[in-house]
Every structure is written in C-alpha cells, then in structure tokens.
C-alpha cells in the first residue's frame, strides 16, 4: 500500500486538495468550491467527501493516508490547531479545524498558515529546493510571506511571524487594511497597484488606462502591466513604485535574515521579467555597498500547487520529522 500525504489549501473561494507520495511527488489533485456560508462543519464535510472522491477516482485507499496538512488564511493558534478568524470565510471564528478534520478522517492533522504552507511548498519542491535559507513573498490581494531559516519555518512566539506585507516602508503613508499606515502591502500588492492606477486616472492623469476604466469600470494589475509594456507613462510610474517597494522589502529581509534566495509568487508574477528586472534594479540601487550580496531574487516555480505541496510537507514532517 502506498504511503499518502494529503495537502489541503483552504481558500475563501476554493479548496484545493492534493495527494502526495512520501517523496512529495504529486499523485493527483482537485479543487472544489469552499461554500463558506455552510459553516465550519459543512466545510469539513466538503473536504472529507472531496478527498475520498479524489482517492477513489485514482484507485487510492483512505487507509493509506499517513497524515493531512492544511494551509489556511488568517490568524490562527497553530499549537492548538484553531483558526481564530478568516478574512474570506466569515463563519470561521475560533474554529478547532485540526481536531475536526482529525476526527473526521481518524488521521493525524497539522494546521499551518496558508502563506507559510506555500513557502514550504516552494522550499521542498520548487524555487528553494536546493537551499537552506529562503524568504517568500506572495503577491495578490495582499502580500503574504514566509521565512525559512536552516530548513525550518519561522513562526514566532504567537505564530504570526513573517507578516512581511505589513513591514512599514513609507511611514505615515497609505492606509493599509491592517490598520497601519505605509505598509508595503498598501503599495505593492496586485490590488494596491491597480488601486493606485485608478486613483491617478480619476485625478486626471493622462493615460490609456482611462479608457480601460471607462470600459470595464475598474483597472486590474494585469491592465497596468499590459500598458507598461505598451509604453504608457502612468503605468511605468505606478509599476516603478511597486517594484521599488518590493526591492526595499527585499533589502529589509536580507538584513534581518540573510537568505540565500528571495522568492516571489502569486498572480502578479505573470507580469514576467519586466517586474523581476525592475525589482532587481532598485535592489542594486538601494542596497548598501559595504559588501557584495549573494542573495538571489527569483520567481516561484510551482504555481497554484505550492499551497497543497507545502501543506503535505508539514503533514509529512508531523510523522517523519523531515
């Protein structure tokens, strides 16, 4: 019988599931709607039924499951396996998810922050698999983070370490959803990049993005980068500020943790080399000149599989300590 580890990426819209072998090679995966309005018990039932369907479809037995890892958003008590609150699943308040899943499957379960899980996924099977020290950023609606030092995720005393998007880059600057002013997330997330472009257009700045806003009622981050490639001046100004903020983040985490590699993930990296090169250029401009830094700045390689891979990895660690 194969030894199987289940990785679960619990999102506000979808639940992604993956079945992995002991070496963390992916056997099969699926995605189902979260349906958060059915409450925690309903979500757990969806996870249970969907996992069993995936196993059956691929001729795998539930008895072969060694452990289950879950990556979930929002603040959590990881030691107790409790989701304190979830930004995109309002019904999740002080939910003992680890216990609920463990009792449903009769298997060992570990709960991890979703950004940390994605970080671990890239570390064990993606952009960080050949190193020991890595910092991870995911660029989407917000900016999530993860830090691995000597092969171990850093959690902090209250399990909220690596909230890297909330490092203050511009004191007194834009209001962030977290309540602080000047967070990197308020400038350099995909949604913040789009929002700053909309604000500029609404203030009368000339740009081809004006027509995008009129036609679609909104400007997306993809729109901004598409217009950057077409030579739009406003798009260049907006994306330069995004890249500068991300470069400053890289410098801050370099001086704090000295990673071998800084990895960017999330939908925004679809912008490609034009984003990565600009980050690196600003990094080189602002980094100290006391010594030549060896850190690499790179894009993630696992795409949407990072979360389930990392969740399976923390599940495996629960059993094997590897």
Phi and psi dihedrals of 151, rounded to 5?
80, 5
Residues, the chain: 322
**Partners of 14 in beta bridges:** 33
Q: What is the pLDDT of residue 98?
A: 97
Alpha carbons 170 and 293: distance in angstroms, whole number: 24
- Does the pLDDT value for residue 17 go beyond 90? yes
Q: For residue 145, how many C-alpha atoms fall within 13 Å in the half-sphere facing its CB? A: 23
CB 131 within 8 A of CB 294: no
Alpha carbons 126 and 123: distance in angstroms, whole number: 6
CB 193 within 8 A of CB 242: yes
Alpha carbons 262 and 227: distance in angstroms, whole number: 27
Neighbours of 56 (CB within 10 A): 11
- Does the pLDDT value for residue 171 go beyond 70? yes
Q: Is 94 helix (H, G, I), strand (E, B) or coil?
A: strand
- Does the pLDDT value for residue 1 go beyond 70? no
What is the rounded average pLDDT for all residues in the chain? Answer: 94
Q: What is the pLDDT of residue 4?
A: 94
Q: What is the pLDDT of residue 293?
A: 93
How much is the average pLDDT of 221-231?
97
Q: What is the pLDDT of residue 75?
A: 85
Phi and psi dihedrals of 181, rounded to 5?
-115, 135
Give the domains, in start order, of the chain with CATH numbers: 4-122+304-320 (3.30.420.40), 130-301 (3.30.420.40)
**Partners of 135 in beta bridges:** 147, 262
* CA-to-CA dists, residue 144 to 67, 92, 223, 312, angstroms: 26, 20, 22, 19
Q: What is the pLDDT of residue 221?
A: 96
Alpha carbons 3 and 92: distance in angstroms, whole number: 31
Burial 97-107 (b: 16+ CB within 10 A, else e): bbebbbebbeb
Q: What is the pLDDT of residue 36?
A: 66
How much is the average pLDDT of 212-236?
97
Specify which of 65-79, 86-100, 232-246 reaches the highest per-range mean pLDDT: 232-246
DSSP structural state of residue 195: H
* pLDDT tens, residue by residue, 112-151: 999 999 999 999 999 999 999 999 999 988 899 999 999 9
Alpha carbons 16 and 114: distance in angstroms, whole number: 12
- Give the CA-trace dihedral at 105, 110, 113, 118, to 10 degrees: -90
Give the whole-number percent of the chain exceeding pLDDT 90: 87
The percent helix, strand, coil of the chain (3-state, each to 5) is: 45, 20, 35
- Does the pLDDT value for residue 188 go beyond 90? yes
Alpha carbons 258 and 261: distance in angstroms, whole number: 9
Alpha carbons 238 and 17: distance in angstroms, whole number: 36
* pLDDT tens, residue by residue, 67-85: 999 999 888 999 999 999 8
Closest CA to 314 of 125, 121, 172: 121
Closest CA to 120 of 290, 265, 283, 278: 265
- Does the pLDDT value for residue 87 go beyond 80? no
């Amino acid at each position: 019988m194969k030894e199987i580890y289940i990785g679960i990426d619990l999102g506000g819209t979808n639940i992604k599931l993956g079945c992995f072998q002991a070496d963390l090679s992916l056997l099969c995966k699926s995605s189902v709607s979260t349906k958060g309005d059915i409450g925690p018990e309903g979500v757990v039932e969806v996870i249970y039924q969907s996992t069993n369907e995936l196993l059956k479809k691929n001729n795998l037995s539930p008895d072969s499951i060694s452990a289950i890892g879950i990556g979930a958003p929002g603040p959590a008590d990881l030691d107790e396996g409790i989701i304190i609150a979830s930004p995109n699943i309002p019904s999740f308040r002080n939910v003992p998810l680890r216990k609920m899943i463990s009792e449903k499957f009769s298997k060992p379960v570990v709960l991890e922050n979703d950004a940390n899980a994605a970080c671990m996924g890239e570390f064990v099977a993606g952009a960080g698999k050949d190193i020991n020290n890595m910092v991870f950023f995911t660029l989407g609606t917000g900016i999530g983070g993860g830090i691995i030092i000597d092969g171990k995720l850093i959690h902090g005393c209250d399990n909220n370490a690596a909230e890297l998007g909330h490092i203050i880059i511009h004191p007194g600057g834009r209001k962030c959803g977290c309540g602080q002013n000047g967070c990197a997330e308020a400038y350099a997330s995909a949604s913040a990049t789009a929002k700053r472009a909309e604000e500029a257009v609404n203030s009368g700045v000339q740009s081809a993005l004006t027509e995008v806003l009129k036609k679609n009622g909104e400007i997306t981050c993809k729109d901004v980068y598409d217009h950057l490639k077409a030579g739009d001046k406003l798009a260049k100004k907006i994306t330069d500020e995004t890249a500068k903020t991300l470069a400053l983040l890289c410098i801050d985490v370099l001086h704090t943790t000295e990673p071998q590699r800084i990895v960017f993930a999330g939908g925004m990296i679809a912008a490609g080399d034009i984003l990565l090169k600009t980050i690196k250029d600003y990094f080189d401009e602002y980094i100290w000149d006391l010594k030549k830094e060896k850190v690499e700045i790179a894009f993630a390689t696992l795409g949407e599989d990072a979360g389930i891979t990392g969740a399976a990895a923390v599940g495996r660690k629960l059993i094997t300590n590897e």
